[in-house]
Structure 1
């Protein structure tokens, strides 16, 4: 238990260090900086749940970091390692993450101290519904107040249970589905949410690699093609990050998981590894790959891009000096500690920070929330109108050229945008525009020094502006 608490405190200290490092460049009043820095509220609850005929008291935490915009937004994780400091750190990151990608939410986070791998689905449902009821009683959940989402140890299934519980309490509220995001599509979820964080990681890495001046300093060429990649974590985020990078021509040479890792210098077939793990419950013994017993050692292997997509505090002062990657792309929250970052930056390694790179999930959650409030599927009203418009253009081209397209060719050209197309377009635009803002801030203020500090800097400035425009601070 002590080690869990220590890790949570270390993570919170790291986030605060990054904040303070950027805040000193803003020139904002100290009182305003303290308001932006500190969590607004922490709610802890212990609730009884019957498990196998015995009463167990479960601890739940919900932290709302900032109310400069409502609702607040952040996932709920299930883990025996959940601690108040860890949840506070994650809620704080969410505030700045939303600001960086221009999503109009305040930051929040939640946690329930339970190991979802060691209890039945029936028990998980009991715990989830009871925790949701506790949040409802305290007015700590709702489409205009605080909107949870999946996180480590949770999924669309748990969000469905929370949504159903909320709608039972708030019967007749037509906005009730917006109380959580990351739901299954059949109950108000949005197409494209499952892969959103991993796809956002892909867009972010691709955008960084588009700038020749930046990649040349690392001895790399522009573009994703043939870049060697090692990924730690093959869950939802790690798998989708690997999938999209692989499809774009990158070589995924290593994948690390808690049971061990696999390595092939010529590249791994991501879909085949995914299928293998589904069938065998492990990535180990994948045909043509070398098993690596100590998966943490894979962080130290040579590659162009290292993607930590597991948990926080994975790269520390103890292993940072042995990292050989040219780019660390933080798909997880807080995988690099503050002492490790200092070592990595001195070595000239570029870190694409978590508060930008893994913001794809909250961006698409925002789209889902908008869909729930409008009560209409994206694309429903405009898709056929688009197709008719494109069809007229094709008709004109055919008339002018005297040539005619086949039915299949015509269908591909005139197809209107459905929900998934719109979601991916919105996510791509968000990741491109946000990276350009971060890069421009670093260009205008080189004393910021690195991408993370630049990202925190622009986030702090945006949040400060919100407070100032509300008249709370001069």
Structure 2
């Protein structure tokens, strides 16, 4: 397997880490340097000012972004996050990751991402709605069903997507459900969309476990990030007989050697706002969770969680990246050298964009699928993509991440060359 030393060691810059992974795969492929420049650069960057009248009558102004990275394979696709730590560089990196994610699972989209620098926990529901609607008004010049289709991300949900759809529709005078995915079912959402990212991640874990000879019914798992994605992944692993021994959220974590009752933990968090304090479990920090002696580790929180500083502490056999960019470039090399299989984010968490694609197709056709059909098609797409990446990794003796990027780059390269440069 690939064990080349990583020359990039800035653990805090997701953009540079993403560039590094792209360049590594491009070098392995012998990609033309000029074409690589084209594939790395974002096509369009929009920065907007988002004024908001607060509930007390005062005015505030927030900064928002929408980045379209690449459109060679189809309209842009990517989530919108509301978080106080959002930066333009982060949004550019996440848009690029969406390009490669869509390509590796072979759906006809390019990559995009959006965000507003804000702490939604400090905003009322009314303030959040007004902020969302004004942001959508500002970015409406570049979004649309054939141009750029937003979706949920950190701190956004089906209700926020409903506001986006309604705002865009009001501007055009008729309902346009396909402008956004991750909507409530009542206004054109898809069955299975809310669970898609976590469920898709577990499909990749099943394939990885099979390849590694690991029996999931006898395995243990820890999940960092017990939000929508992590909670679903934990529940799916539990359903497969896997013993989930630890989970965490932004406030802390809990551990139980005998395994947690995931349904009870979800109910407890819904009632209290956190997994912290869950009875019959031991408190645990985020770093302690990452270092647990378990078979499967699912980082499902934010980026840069596994770094050069703690990579040597990871004891899991499989790391399934349910979050975007949870492992830095140098940490990735360390895990590879230690024989730990890392299922890269652009494959492990692609279930969300796959079912977003299904939702978009259903919205464009005004014809909707059953949940069983959605999950069947999701499994088919994820399993097929995993096996393609696995085959390249074995044949070329590279990591799963480099193999995934090689496949993605090849597909975007072909689309770019076939379309040519205009004018």
Q: TM-score range by the shorter chain?
A: over 0.9
| SS of residue in 2 equivalent to 1:210 | helix
1:32 — aligned with what? 35
1:320 — aligned with what? 311
Q: Per-residue CA shift, 1:195-231, capped at 9, x if unaligned? A: 00000011010011122xxx1xxxxx33321211011
Count of residues in correspondence between the two structures: 412
1:13-412 equivalence runs, <5 A = 13-51=16-54, 52-136=56-140, 139-172=141-174, 176-211=176-211, 215=212, 221-292=213-284, 294-378=285-369
> C-alpha separation between the residues in 1 aligned to 2:411 and 2:286?
39
> C-alpha separation between the residues in 1 aligned to 2:314 and 2:31?
36
> C-alpha separation between the residues in 2 aligned to 1:443 and 1:168?
51
Q: Per-residue CA shift, 1:35-72, capped at 9, x if unaligned? A: 11111111101121111211111101000000102310
User: Contact 1:160–1:184 (CA<8 Å) still a contact in 2?
Assistant: yes
Q: Per-residue CA shift, 1:336-371, capped at 9, x if unaligned? A: 011111221111111110000000000000000001
> C-alpha separation between the residues in 2 aligned to 1:278 and 1:46?
34
User: Contact 2:11–2:308 (CA<8 Å) still a contact in 1?
Assistant: no
Q: Per-residue CA shift, 1:240-280, capped at 9, x if unaligned? A: 00000000010101112222211111111100111111222
1:453 — aligned with what? 402
- 2:353 counterpart of 1:437: no
TM-score when normalising by structure 2: 0.95
> C-alpha separation between the residues in 1 aligned to 2:180 and 2:343?
28
Q: Per-residue CA shift, 1:307-364, capped at 9, x if unaligned? A: 1000000111111111111111100000001111122111111111000000000000
- Structure 2 alignment gaps of length 5 or more: 1-9
> C-alpha separation between the residues in 2 aligned to 1:9 and 1:90?
14
| SS of residue in 2 equivalent to 1:148 | strand
Which protein, 1 or 2, shows the higher relative CO under an 8 Å CA cutoff with sep ≥ 6?
Answer: 2
1:111 Cα deviation from its structure 2 partner: 0.3
Q: Per-residue CA shift, 1:413-433, capped at 9, x if unaligned? A: xxxxxx101100110001110
> C-alpha separation between the residues in 1 aligned to 2:335 and 2:214?
22
Q: Find runs of 4+ consecutive structure 1 residues off by over 6 angstroms.
A: none
> C-alpha separation between the residues in 2 aligned to 1:47 and 1:78?
13
> C-alpha separation between the residues in 1 aligned to 2:276 and 2:30?
52
> C-alpha separation between the residues in 2 aligned to 1:256 and 1:132?
32
Larger radius of gyration: 1
| SS of residue in 1 equivalent to 2:183 | coil
User: Contact 1:129–1:162 (CA<8 Å) still a contact in 2?
Assistant: yes
| SS of residue in 1 equivalent to 2:218 | coil
- Structure 1 alignment gaps of length 5 or more: 1-6, 216-220, 379-418
